[in-house]
Amino acid sequence: MPDRFPHGFSWGTATAAHQVEGNNHGNDWWDWEQHPGAIRSGERSDPACDHFQRFQEDFDLLRSLHQNAHRFSLEWSRIEPQDGVVDRAAIEHYRQVILALRERGLEPFVTIHHFTIPRWLAGMGGWADPTSVERFARFVELVVAELGELVSYWITINEPTALVYQSYLAGEWPPGVRDFDAGARVLSHLLKAHWQAYERIKERHPRAQVGLAHHLRNFDPFRAWHPLDRLVALLYHRIFNETLLSSLRRGSAVYPLSRLGQASGPAPSQDFIGLNYYTRNLLRFERRARAELFGQRVNRARAPVSDQGLEIYPHGLYRWLLALRRERLPVYITENGVADATDTLRPVFLLDHLRATLRAMGRGSPVRGYFHWTCFDNFEWAEGYGLKFGLASCDPSTQARRLRSSGRLYAEICRTGVLPDPPAGGG
C-alpha cells in the first residue's frame, strides 16, 4: 500500500446547485417541496446555504483548507427559465463562479445535471418525455459554447440510477411515481442524454474530459448460504450497477433498457469514471416486497451506521475501485461522505475510506481525485436540513459557517497527501 497520495492528486468537495444556492424557485424540486409531507422536516430549499450570493467567500474557505479542486453543478432552470429562452445573467453568474475557482487555484469539475429539471420540462413529463433527450442536448450545447473555454472536466449527469430509483420506484422524489417500466424508460432517456452530451462537448472541445457520476453500491446477500438472498443481491447489482456501466462500455443499451428498442451511442463515452460511494446493502428475499424487486434491506448486527441509518462500510469502496479497473479509465471519487451531526463518525470515516483508496491504488486502481460530500451542511433533498454531511456546519437561519474537526483533518490531508493515525476516541 502506498504511504501517501501522489503529487497532482485532486482534493476537493462536491455540491449541487439546488442544495446550496437558495432561491431556486423555477424547478421541479421547488414545486415538490410545496406538497405537505414531501420533505420529512417540512423545510424548503430556500435559503439553503445562500451560496449563490456567498460563493466567493465560500471558495476562500475551501482554498484556505488546501483544496485544489471543486465539483459543483449548473442549475438548468436558472439558465433556461422557459423552453428555449436563455437568461444571460445566469450564464454570467456561472462564468464568475468558474473564474472565482480558477483565481484560487481550484480546478472546476462542472456537473451539468444534478437531479433538478426546469418546471417547464417537468410539465411536459420530465425525463419520461422522449423530447427531453434533445432538449438536454440543446442545453449542453449552450453551456459548453458559453463556458467551455474555462472548463476542462465535465460531468454530464449525476447518479442516473439513484434518480430513477427515488423518483420512479420508491416514489420519494418528484414526480413521485412507482412504476418500474416508467423508470426503465427514464433511465433509457438519461443514457441517451449522456451520449448526446458527450458528443456535443467533444465536437466543440475535443480535449475536454467528460464523465458521468455513478452511484455504485455493494449489494450482498444477508444470508450468504440462501439461494434467494443471493439471487436478489445479484438482481439488484445487475439492474442498479451494471445496466448503465455495461451500456456505456458497449455503446448500446443492455437489458432491461434493450426492451425499449435499440439505442446506441459512442463507445467509449467516458474519459473518466465518476464514483459516488456511500454504503452497501445487505438484501434478504421478501416475497411481499414486489415493488422493491423482492428485496428487503437489512443491516448486520452491530454494524456502524450513519445518522441516515446506512452501514459504514469502507471496504465497499475498495471493492468498487478494484472492480472498476476493468473500465481502463481514470477514476475520480466524485462523492463520499457520511451523515453525522456530532462529527464523531466523520473523522474515522474519512480516514478509513481514504485508506481503502490508497490500498486500491496500490493494486493498480487509477484513482486521480477525491471529492468529499460535502463542504457545508445543506438541503439534503427529501430529508431537508436534518442530515449533516458538511466538513463545516451551516445554519440556514444565520448562514454562519463553522469548521468541524473533520474539516481541519481533511485540510491537513489535502496539504500533505498523507493519512495520519486515526484520532483517539473516534466513532
> What one-character-per-residue DSSP string does 345-379 give?
SHHHHHHHHHHHHHHHHHTT--EEEEEES-SB---
pLDDT in tens, 119-172: 999 999 999 999 999 999 999 999 999 999 999 999 999 999 999 999 999 999
**What percentage of residues in the chain have a pLDDT greater than 70?**
99
Contact indicator for 385, 55 with CB cutoff of 8 Å:
no
Q: CB under 8 Å to 13, separation ≥6 — which residues?
A: 62, 67, 70, 71, 371, 372, 373, 374, 375, 391
Confidence of residue 423 (pLDDT cuts 50, 70, 90): low
**What percentage of residues in the chain have a pLDDT greater than 90?**
91
pLDDT at 2: 82
Q: CB under 8 Å to 424, separation ≥6 — which residues?
A: none
pLDDT in tens, 146-160: 999 999 999 999 999
CA 260 to chain centre: 26
Confidence of residue 291 (pLDDT cuts 50, 70, 90): confident
Q: CB under 8 Å to 340, separation ≥6 — which residues?
A: 306, 307, 346, 349, 388, 389, 427
pLDDT at 427: 37
Angle at 101 between CA 360 and CA 416, to 5 degrees: 40
pLDDT in tens, 53-102: 999 999 999 999 999 999 999 999 999 999 999 999 999 999 999 999 99
Q: Which of 75, 80, 159, 311 is catalytic?
A: 159
For 392-414, what is the mean pLDDT?
Answer: 97
pLDDT in tens, 242-259: 999 999 999 988 877 877
Plot region of 171 (φ>0 → left; ψ -120 to 50 → alpha; else → beta):
left
Question: Residue 234 is placed in which grid cell?
Answer: 445479484
CA 374 – CA 376 distance, rounded (Å): 6
Confidence of residue 9 (pLDDT cuts 50, 70, 90): very high
Question: Around 383, how many Cα atoms within 13 Å sit in the side-chain half-sphere?
Answer: 15
pLDDT at 301: 87
Give, in order, the Cα–Cα distances in Å from 302 to each of 318, 348, 364, 422: 21, 17, 33, 21
For 19-42, what is the mean pLDDT?
Answer: 96
Confidence of residue 264 (pLDDT cuts 50, 70, 90): confident
Question: Residue 323 is placed in which grid cell?
Answer: 472492480
**What structural domains does the chain harbor?**
10-416 (3.20.20.80)
For 329-356, what is the mean pLDDT?
Answer: 98
Question: Residue 382 is placed in which grid cell?
Answer: 427529501
Q: Is 159 a catalytic residue?
A: yes
pLDDT at 150: 98
For 415-421, what is the mean pLDDT?
Answer: 94
